[in-house]
Structure 1
Amino acid sequence: MKQKPVTIYDIAKEAKVSTATVSRVIANNYPVSEKTKKMVLDLIKKYDYQPNAVARSLTKKESKMIGFILPDITNPFFAQVFIEAEKYALTKGYTLILGNSMNSNEIESKYLRDLSERQVEGIIFMGGRINKSQPDHMEINELKDVMNKIPVIMVNGKIDGINCSSVHTNEAKGIDLVIEHLVSHDHKKIGLIGGVKGVTTTDIKVNAYWRSLTKHGLLMKENWQIYSGYDVDSGRKAVETFIHVNESDLPTALIGINDLVIIGALKACRQNHLHPFSFVGFDNTDLTKNATPEITSVSHPYKDLGEKAIDLIIHTKTMKPEEIWLDPYLAIRESTNRPH
């Protein structure tokens, strides 16, 4: 017969104290005599008593839970930031609740409502509306309503008029690192593929691309910068567009808006028997390390992104909104050579 779990009432009865005294010992938030405290703690240890997490959260007004909304958990970039945040949160005694919006505005809104109602202590937000150059008023007002209840921290995103803390990778610097590396390998014709215009992370990279080409006095052709999306198939489509609009006048190096796009481009080049490009990705996911050839890629400081986001949530009640910028680095591999 299964033994009935020990309750706070059992502990109180055996210690001959009130349940309120037991709660005070557990929460350690009110003076209790050392004799009583030791007796209660000994009984908790004896029976391996585990206080109910919900009851404890109501007593301390802390749930120790943090919401995390992202657009696509299958995208290695979002997954890696989440993993780093989760690992760090656990060391701080917090649990993350994932809201994968699957690139749906409706699902994203649902997670915002649900998480705020579940008494999470804050929400970390990636992608979706915080990466739109012009989010609609309903999305902005919805986010403001949530922020009246709990703090929201943005990762690699920002909305004008929303005053909250955020942590970013300096993605413009990442593009600068790529161009400098390719120039050092004698590349003078460099293309950029992928992304969607009006998504801020894409806009930042595209603007940095044109600025960097100007800075290095490189040839600039509109046909060498192609919007195509964010997945592997987007890379394939971008290469097909390149072939169609540029014919024989192709760049010698291709930069992908992310790793998925550049892997798609690499596959398409092989299938179309195109002359070898140098390929550079962005995000430095495990995909780049396992491709053939291994792909040079800009790396986010994933550990710092995840940990800073958690720290901002934990300490947001005691600090003013803060904007943190972190530097990327370039992981150089086999895919960048001198032009053929």
Structure 2
Amino acid sequence: MVTIKDVAREAGVSVATVSRALNDNGYVGVDTRKKVMAAIEKLNYSPNEVARSLYKRKSRLIGLLLPDITNPFFPQLARGVEDELSRAGFRLLLGNSDENVEKEMEYIQTFVQNNVTGIISATNHLDDQIYNELKLPLVLLDRISEDYPAVYSDGREGGRLAARTLIEKGAKRITLMKGPAHVRPAQDRFQGAIEELSHADIDFSVLSTTSYSFEEALGWAKELFEQFPDTDGVIASNDIVGIAIIHEALKIGKQIPEDVQIIGYDDIPQSGLSYPTLSTIRQPAYDMGRQAAQLLIKLIKKEQHIECKIQMPVELVERNTTRKK
């Protein structure tokens, strides 16, 4: 690994001179600066961003905290954040909390210790003291709060759209999978679906779930058909659960979509690869990530008249787990 000492040796100057040239701190002659830059280019030297930020008290680092990077939805958010930050000259530090509040707090402390200049978080623990004490710009992503800037999709409309679609396609005994109670977007989707189902001339049931994890999805799917064997329409809590329901339905001999129709939520890449392919409600995950990064940059720059609550639209993606009209 090339160090600042290697650059100094190559340029024939002191380490202090290289440091002044990199940080624009103090006088460095034109010819000397050219030597330093030529040495940096020749050796392909990359300054330690954390060390530079500590020295200059000005960072180009952003912390991103996600709840579960094994869920394909969240890497799409992260990619949108990273692409936008990179375009603006920032670098990303990523934390994965696993929905564990202690782990989340440790990552927040790590971000602060590494002198990040702002944080983007998909947290469910805003009531923790550490957030109240943050002296950094904070943007919520895929989460909603009255107290912080946020970028999120229209979950309530997403729930209504899923329910409306199954009703219009002839489902009469619908099971609504209620997402984790501690996740605000999940409850928004649930409330939207309930609003639509309550006004329709159909039977519907609710199955509560406590996570979106791969590990538990097959268990939810099995429980669904054990409790509601005659269900002919399912609004899954997300695409992971929706794909698990496809597997379980086929396993017990149900035809899709003839016997049971299924709608997921998120439109992760795997929803188009399942068999049959999963109809779903699409959240614009990549664009949400980009919007969150843009909003954070505006806050860092202290721009005026910033729109601090950005709600993104959702849309139905029809595939093969719903009937054609």
Q: Same fold (TM over 0.5)?
A: yes
Which residue of 2 is the match for residue 89 of structure 1? 85
TM-score w.r.t. length of structure 1:
0.80
How big is the shift at 1:200? 1.3
* Paired residues of 1:258 and 1:282 also in contact (CA < 8 A): yes
Q: Is 1:316 equivalent to 2:316 in the alignment? A: no
Cα RMSD for the two superposed structures: 3.1
Q: 1:17-66: per-residue Cα shift (whole Å, max 9, x none)? A: x949x83x655699x89xx54x3453234323545534542454322111
Q: Structure 2 residue aligned with 1:210, among 194, 205, 219? A: 194
Q: Is 1:231 equivalent to 2:217 in the alignment? A: no
Q: Distance in 1 between matches of 2:224 and 2:51?
A: 61
Letter in 1 for 2:202: L
Q: Is 1:179 equivalent to 2:163 in the alignment? A: yes
Change in CA separation of 1:325 and 1:8 when aligned onto 2, cut-off 3 Å: farther
3-state SS of paired residue (1:7): helix
Change in CA separation of 1:279 and 1:247 when aligned onto 2, cut-off 3 Å: closer
* Paired residues of 2:178 and 2:187 also in contact (CA < 8 A): no
Q: Distance in 1 between matches of 2:140 and 2:246?
A: 32
Q: Distance in 1 between matches of 2:80 and 2:242?
A: 24
3-state SS of paired residue (1:128): coil
Change in CA separation of 1:247 and 1:253 when aligned onto 2, cut-off 3 Å: closer
Q: Distance in 1 between matches of 2:99 and 2:218?
A: 21
Q: Is 1:258 equivalent to 2:238 in the alignment? A: yes
3-state SS of paired residue (2:102): helix
Q: Distance in 2 between matches of 1:264 and 1:190?
A: 17
Change in CA separation of 1:338 and 1:143 when aligned onto 2, cut-off 3 Å: same
* Paired residues of 2:221 and 2:241 also in contact (CA < 8 A): no
Q: Distance in 1 between matches of 2:108 and 2:82?
A: 19
* Paired residues of 2:124 and 2:182 also in contact (CA < 8 A): no
* Paired residues of 1:194 and 1:238 also in contact (CA < 8 A): no
Change in CA separation of 1:88 and 1:327 when aligned onto 2, cut-off 3 Å: same
Q: Distance in 1 between matches of 2:163 and 2:138?
A: 35
Q: Distance in 1 between matches of 2:109 and 2:251?
A: 46
Which residue of 2 is the match for residue 128 of structure 1? 124
How big is the shift at 1:187? 3.1
Letter in 1 for 2:7: V
Letter in 2 for 1:47: A
Which residue of 1 is the match for residue 274 of structure 2? 291
Q: Structure 1 residue aligned with 2:99, among 95, 98, 103? A: 103
Identity of aligned residues (%): 22
| Structure 1 residue ranges, 4+ long, deviating more than 4 angstroms after superposition | 8-13, 25-30, 49-52, 232-235
Q: Distance in 1 between matches of 2:11 and 2:222?
A: 72
Greater shift after overlay, 182-191 or 79-88? 182-191
3-state SS of paired residue (2:202): coil
* Paired residues of 1:194 and 1:234 also in contact (CA < 8 A): no
Q: Is 1:327 equivalent to 2:319 in the alignment? A: no
Q: Distance in 2 between matches of 1:233 and 1:42?
A: 57
Change in CA separation of 1:8 and 1:69 when aligned onto 2, cut-off 3 Å: farther
Q: Distance in 1 between matches of 2:113 and 2:194?
A: 45
Letter in 2 for 1:208: G
Greater shift after overlay, 84-93 or 260-269? 84-93
Structure 1 unmatched ranges of 5 or more:
none
How big is the shift at 1:246? 3.7
Change in CA separation of 1:158 and 1:11 when aligned onto 2, cut-off 3 Å: farther
Q: Distance in 2 between matches of 1:241 and 1:114?
A: 40
Q: Distance in 1 between matches of 2:187 and 2:268?
A: 21
Structure 2 unmatched ranges of 5 or more:
none
Which residue of 1 is the match for residue 202 of structure 2? 219
Q: Distance in 1 between matches of 2:175 and 2:48?
A: 57
* Paired residues of 1:193 and 1:235 also in contact (CA < 8 A): no
Q: 1:205-254: per-residue Cα shift (whole Å, max 9, x none)? A: 11101112235x24243xx2111232345444344444444454x2x221
Letter in 2 for 1:285: I
Q: Distance in 1 between matches of 2:214 and 2:70?
A: 12
3-state SS of paired residue (1:129): coil
Greater shift after overlay, 192-201 or 103-112? 192-201
Q: 1:237-272: per-residue Cα shift (whole Å, max 9, x none)? A: 344444444454x2x221111011111111111222
